[in-house]
Amino acid sequence: MSTLESNVAAAEKYLMRFKQFATGHFINGAFMVPEGNSLIDNISPIDQSVLGQIAIGTDIEIDHACDAAQAAFPAWRDMPGSERRALLHHFADKIVERADEIALIESMDTGQPIKFMKKTAIRGAANFRFFADKAPEATAGISSFQEEHTNFTSRVPIGPIGVITPWNTPFMLSTWKIAPALAAGCTVVHKPAELSPLTAMLLAEIAKDAGIPDGVWNMVNGYGQVAGKRLTEHPAIKAIALVGSSSTGPLVMKQGADTLKRIHLELGGKNPVLIFDDADFDRALDAVVFMIYSLNGERCTSSSRLLIQSGIKSRFIEALAKRVANIRVGHPLDPATEVGPLIGKVHYEKVKSYFNIATQDGAEVLVGGKVCESPNNGNPTGYYVEPTLFVEAQNDMRIAQEEIFGPVLTAIGFDTEEQAVDIANDIQFGLAGYIWTNDTGRAMRLSRTIEAGMLWVNSENNRNLPSPFGGVKMSGVGRDGGDYSFDFYMEIKNVCLALGTHKIPVLGGFS
């Protein structure tokens, strides 16, 4: 039996229960598929087979989950941080125990290659451990002295949180939000993406198994416009952490306005990678290929705009084209696969549409630009596209301005540093940027002028959990990571103590 066959057999075993029983919600410690909910098919991106059915939650389930999160909040808030830390470490242990199952199910549900998903459970567990260790000190603040008063601050958890996640790498992204919220002492209602709901159910099961108290963690499946919308409007929910597209972000802000929600938005990107003539050619090439073609290009921090300086442009593009043409497209459970199928039909049609748009706008399709007919042992029904490279593009073309969110790279030439900065910044997004140069002064100048929340110099996307993660412009509002996460999930309270010596103004004291 090949590794692909044994992976498929293992995945089928794990998926059996999702095929037999509809995937519902997890509310106040109970798993449920309410009678009134409609059920939709969960379609596999690999071959359009049905992976099971998903219950579509309504306002009723969201209200129920928010009420549970509100009722559970005081006890969870008041639990000593050291106890929360122990529980969340226990939770991380349980994730690790189910790492293979999580990876296989995530691959089947999203089309992401197992090569990358193998680490997803480990990353998720690491998120829990990192924030768990911070739980005991999360409430600590600062003190500030005046002559006759002393001020001190503390942080208190803000309350029940709504977490709304997208379909790309859903397991890891969910833990990135939920772990700090729980560590801070908040309770959670999670609304996963309707296109990739399965590992959210695994997380809920792990929460139950790990002994997270009922109501502290709730999960409701459903559509964004219904369940997601209600969650953003519910008065018990004090803050919303959304990871999603730049069109959903403003909607969530508006929906949360009446109840004055604190809103954290991690949205789309069209991130530039700037390659200068003096860059380390081979390392830059590896990083450029990795940062757009890994994870099927369905990655918010992908470097989807290549800005390449004229001196090395032709040599770089030639080497790049060879590498792109050589990328292995295939079944996501094949360990050799580098690019798998796209998440679903609507997204597949969107990505495909850019192949025509590119030529209509006057760019050249140097590699790819077609659907992949038979990467799957001749089965043509999956949502596969060829890794694609557009060259000779201008920055005002749609392929340079819009987030395609697939294995598609747009290359644009430049001559000077100033031109590179202008091109990099002439876009509505500002999530990430990548700079390749051996000139330290230039790297420092660019790090000041490029409009992005995160920049990497001579590196692909390297995550450091204490560092801030987030974007500017239409890529988002707010930061995650380290203490920045606690700033979002907690309120600062100031207490002012008098020494008993100061003069209090006297009104009405005339005799």
Mark residues 346-385: x for contact with ligand NAD by CB under 6 A, - for none: ----------------------------------------
Q: What letter would DSSP give residue 438?
A: S
Stretch that binds ligand NAD, among 105-113, 165-173, 270-278, 392-400 (CB under 6 A): 165-173
Q: What is the dihedral of CA 194, 198, 202, 204, to 10 degrees?
A: 20
Interacting residue with ligand NAD among 334, 338, 403, 460 (CB under 6 A): 403
Tell me how far apart the alpha carbons of residues 83 and 77 are, in angstroms, rounded to a whole number: 11
Q: How far is the CB of 230 from ligand NAD (least distance, A)?
A: 8
Going through 228-277 in order, the beta strands assigned E by DSSP cover 239-243, 262-266, 272-275
Name the strand (E) or helix (H) holding 288.
helix 281-293
Q: How many residues bind ligand NAD (CB under 6 A)?
A: 32
Q: Which is nearer to ligand NAD, 102 or 172 (CB)?
A: 172
Catalytic choice (106, 194, 233, 266): 266
Identify whether the C-beta of residue 270 lies closer than 8 Å to the C-beta of residue 307. Answer: no
Catalytic choice (66, 186, 300, 372): 300
Q: How far is the CB of 351 from ligand NAD (least distance, A)?
A: 12
Stretch that binds ligand NAD, among 13-21, 30-38, 158-166, 439-447 (CB under 6 A): 158-166
Question: Does 191 participate in binding ligand NAD (rule CB under 6 A)?
Answer: yes
Give me Rg for the CA atoms of the chain.
Answer: 25
Mark residues 234-273: x for contact with ligand NAD by CB under 6 A, - for none: ---------xxx--x--xx--x----------xxxx----
Q: What letter would DSSP give residue 322?
A: H
Question: Does 197 participate in binding ligand NAD (rule CB under 6 A)?
Answer: no
Q: Is residue 266 annotated as part of the catalytic site, yes or no?
A: yes
Question: Does 478 participate in binding ligand NAD (rule CB under 6 A)?
Answer: no
Question: Does 387 participate in binding ligand NAD (rule CB under 6 A)?
Answer: no
Q: Is residue 97 annotated as part of the catalytic site, yes or no?
A: no
Contacts of 174 by beta carbon, 8 Å cutoff, 6+ apart: 124, 163, 165, 190, 192, 199, 200, 203
Contacts of 156 by beta carbon, 8 Å cutoff, 6+ apart: 77, 139, 185, 490, 491, 493
Q: What letter would DSSP give residue 339?
A: B
| Residue 266: CA count within 13 A, CB half-sphere | 25
CA nearest to 123, candidates 434, 464, 375: 464
Tell me how far apart the alpha carbons of residues 375 and 381 are, in angstroms, rounded to a whole number: 10
Q: Which of residues 214-233 bind ligand NAD (CB under 6 A)?
A: 223-225, 228-229, 232
Interacting residue with ligand NAD among 24, 387, 476, 482 (CB under 6 A): 476
Helix axes 482-489, 120-134, angle to 10 degrees: 70
Query: Which residues are paired to 185 by β-bridges?
Result: none
Identify whether the C-beta of residue 351 lies closer than 8 Å to the C-beta of residue 405. Answer: yes
Question: Does 429 participate in binding ligand NAD (rule CB under 6 A)?
Answer: no
Q: Which of residues 262-321 bind ligand NAD (CB under 6 A)?
A: 266-269, 300
Mark residues 436-475: x for contact with ligand NAD by CB under 6 A, - for none: -----------------------------------x----
Query: Which residues form the catalytic set?
Result: 266, 300
Site of interaction with ligand NAD (CB under 6 A): 164-168, 173, 191, 193-194, 223-225, 228-229, 232, 243-245, 248, 251-252, 255, 266-269, 300, 403, 405, 431, 471, 476
